[in-house]
Amino acid sequence: MASTVKVSVLAGLLVKQDGVLSSHQRSLAKQMIEASDNNSTSELFDDLGGQQGLQSTFNQFGMKDSTADSSWGLSTTTAKDQIKLLNNIFYKSNLLSADSQQYISSLMSNVESDQIWGVSASSDNFALKNGWLENGNEKWIINSIGYVKNSNGTSYTIAMYSDKNQSMQTGEEVLNQLARVTKPILN
């Protein structure tokens, strides 16, 4: 999952704490989503309850093919499971309050400029969280999840996961192309 797991961490923490985060947790969440800060994620992951808390989050959101890892970035998922989570954020949810949905959406809509790739390649109106990780074989895992709202008023959630990329840039280009060719189908 690499850093795309950070959305699950935040959603799970909001569910666990009935939508209420301390000012410190809000500051960490902003850094975790907007800047993809790993130290902030580790602290919020601990607040969630670590591996067990993250697995509980996956279970609550019906993410049956996702498995939490004690090293949060090594947790595994499927695009289908991520769509379940994203639909709870951007559409109707029985788990997240409207305020929690808006909070996550606002953070995902304000990522740092060097992280605007993947989902964002198909629209100017997007919310996303990207993840990247160089694995031991000198290949890159590059992921992008999020929400797109088109100029015609239609919207959709999308989750793209890739591995074995020769470089981070190559993986970004693959996901950018995938987002662009997917838009006419989902539009």
The CATH number for 180's domain is 3.40.710.10
- What is the structure's pLDDT at 22? 99
- What is the structure's pLDDT at 40? 99
- What is the structure's pLDDT at 187? 75
Q: Is the Cβ–Cβ distance between 57 and 78 less than 8 Å?
A: no
- What is the structure's pLDDT at 185? 87
Q: Which residues of the chain have pLDDT under 50?
A: none
What pTM was computed for the model? 0.97
- What is the structure's pLDDT at 137? 79
Q: Is 155 exposed, middle or buried (0-12, 13-18, 19+ CB in 10 A)?
A: middle
- What is the structure's pLDDT at 89? 99
Domain count, the chain: 1
Name the phi and psi angles at 76, rounded to 5. Answer: -115, 155
- Which of 81, 79, 65, 74 is CA-nearest to residue 11? 81
Q: At what angle do helices 98-108 and 23-34 cross, to 10 degrees?
A: 40
